[in-house]
Structure 1
Amino acid sequence: MAAEPEGTPCWVDAMFADVEGAKSFYGDVLGWTFGEAASQYGDYTQAYANGKAVAAVVPPMPGQEGQSAWCLYLASPDVAATAKKIKDNGGEVLMEPMQVGGFGSLAIAREPSGAVFGVWQAGSHEGFEAKAVPGAYCWAEFFTRDPAKLDTFLPAVFPYGAKQMQDDAADFRVFSVGDEMALGRMRMTDDFPPEIPSYVNVYFTVPDCDSTVAKATKRGGVLRFGPVDTPFGRFAALSDPQGAAFSVIDLQKKEGEMPRMADV
């Protein structure tokens, strides 16, 4: 497996004050199993779907305690160069480029409208070992209150093309790497409470959206939206018991016509 093309989502992880609680929740809801905690890397623990690495969980480092959230990493061939582009285009580097043993190098950043994301330069850890299969990542969207800032920033930092959905009901844009759709961007409406900042929402694939939602809510998760049928699959937005937002989608159950998209 080769490192992902620049700008491609390549990994997700999250900090949890209660790591064992998170492992129990996601193990039940998404069917994950977990490797051994890497004590030399802050007890970083990989999650697996059918034996393939799909995510990781980790306790917060001292001083980083706070709201749990999933962090999406975008692939870079040179994390230091990407960090410079982030700063040059109005973003903020929250964690300067740092090498993680032989696994690779990372940086954590905030784009100008406020959403936090990661950058990953692959070493021996190239990212997801599976995508778009049950339990694995399949999609992500930046939710923002200031789409103009984000729409300028992302293609300036990564080699993205962009298409805008031709629909008055939602302000939605898709960023692509070559011919492959990489990310979505959604304008946050007034339906979102004002205290919720811009954020990145990650989607995990499930074999049945409704039964997954039932498991999640039984285990203390909160249903935020859905389930709803779309041309992309039946999905629902949730938050886990520690407050981390995520979505689940059944890619096999698709309804409706694909939206029209126009180059921008």
Structure 2
Amino acid sequence: MPTRENAPLGAPCWIDLFTSDPDASRAFYADLLGWTADEPNEEFGGYFNFRLGEAMIAGGMRNSEPDKVPDMWNVYLAVADAEATTAAAAAAGAPVFVPAMAVGTLGSMAVIADPGGASIGIWQPGEHKGFGVLAEPGAPAWFELHTNAYDTVRPFYSSVFGWDLTTMSDEPSFRYSTLGQGDGALAGVMDSKVLPDGEPDHWAIYFNVADADASAARIVELGGKVLQGPDDTPFGRLLVATDPTGAPFRLVQ
């Protein structure tokens, strides 16, 4: 299984799960995606890591206030300087949820919201470089911002994170841009007019699977829900689901 040593600056480099039931979540993703879970690290507030084989693939932490914040997956972008990036985001009008802070010798992090309100993490790698496998079965395969502020978030990500955006489609019914292009694309931005009314801006994570239909059946058996699909698309066979605590995620075959 090929590994990745470092993420390009500006690209998604890490994901973690905010869950009201860590034990249930650990069991669910272990069964569905073949992950193992490290024991919670009390030094870092009970944070734990998922692994795919020997490679770290994602993190997880307890959501102690699920009545205020729903369970969800979070995406972090790689930066050279977390403090400077957070300052640039704040200067551009972004709310700062978690100010830049060192996480031991692992790196430095922050959490902000983009102009559409989608939460996005910032990660300056230290010893922890991010997920070690990409686009293999069980690993993250694609990262996609669904936004109602398409025309505003594009220049925001370009100025704050150095994104070079390529317009893939600019039809009124489907506007979509990518960070990079072709096989080298690293993330996408989609105008949410094609999504259900009232859905808040958010980052969606797609995990690669060998068999989307078998995975859909297993999600239900494990207590999750399949919300859409599996459907054939030009990009693979896709489905939208939630885990047993309601955190949404997507699969792609």
Residue in 1 aligned with 2:158? 155
1:187 maps to which of 191, 194, 218: 191
Q: 1:228–1:167: structure 2 CA closer, same or farther, 3 Å change rule?
A: farther
1:51-103 per-residue CA deviation (whole Å, 9 max, x = no partner) reads 21100111135799631110100000100010011112221111000111110
Change (3 A) 1:153 1:31: same
**Residue in 1 that maps onto 2:213:** 210
Q: 1:103 to 1:64 in 2, by over 3 A?
A: farther
**The 10-residue stretch of structure 1 (238-247 or 225-234) with the greater mean CA deviation from structure 2:** 225-234
Q: Return the alpha-carbon distance in structure 2 between the equivalents of residues 160 and 167 of structure 1.
A: 18
SS in 1 for 2:57: strand
The aligned counterpart of 1:116 is 119
1:90 aligned partner: 93
**Does the residue aligned with 1:220 lie in a helix, a strand or coil?**
coil
Alpha-carbon distance in structure 2 between the residues aligned to 1:73 and 1:13: 8
Provide the C-alpha distance between the structure 2 equivalents of 1:227 and 1:81, rounded to a whole number of angstroms. Answer: 42
What residue identity is the alignment partner of 1:23? R
Give 1:140's aligned residue: 143
Q: Could you say if the C-alpha distance between residues 202 and 191 of structure 1 is closer, same or farther in structure 2, counting changes exceeding 3 Å?
A: closer
State the SS of the aligned residue for 2:193: coil
Cα shift at 1:172? 1.1
SS in 1 for 2:174: coil
Letter in 2 for 1:174: T
Q: How many residue pairs end up in the alignment? A: 249
Distance 1:66-1:75 versus aligned 2 partners, 3 A rule: same
The answer for unaligned runs of 5 or more in structure 1 is 251-264
Structure 2 distance, partners of 1:94, 1:63, is: 17
Identity %, equivalent residues: 32
Whole-Å Cα distance in 1 between the matches of residues 148 and 161 of structure 2?
21
Task: Identify which of 162, 176, 180 aligns with 2:180.
Answer: 176
**Is the alpha carbon distance of 1:193 and 1:61 closer, same or farther for their aligned partners in structure 2, counting shifts above 3 Å?**
same
Pair 1:18-2:21 in alignment: yes
| Map of 1:57 onto structure 2 | 60
Q: Give the structure 1 partner of residue 128 of structure 2.
A: 125
RMSD: 2.1
C-alpha separation in 1, matches of 2:21 and 2:157: 33
Change (3 A) 1:65 1:45: farther
Aligned to 2:38: 35
Mapped to 1, the partners of 2:75 and 2:152 lie a distance apart of 19
Letter of the 2:143 counterpart: A
Between stretches 168-177 and 157-166, larger displacement belongs to 168-177
Cα deviation code 1:167-204 (max 9, x no counterpart): 63421111229x8312101111264141x210000111
Q: Distance in 1 between matches of 2:51 and 2:235?
A: 24
TM-score (norm 1): 0.88
Q: What is aligned with 1:76?
A: 79
Structure 2 residue runs of 5 or longer lacking an equivalent are: none
1:150 aligns to what SS in structure 2?
A: helix
Is the 2:174–2:194 contact (alpha carbons within 8 Å) kept by the matching residues of 1? no
* SS state at 2:185 partner: strand
User: AA paired with 2:146?
Assistant: F
Residue in 2 aligned with 1:262? none
CA contact (8 A) 1:17 1:65 kept: no
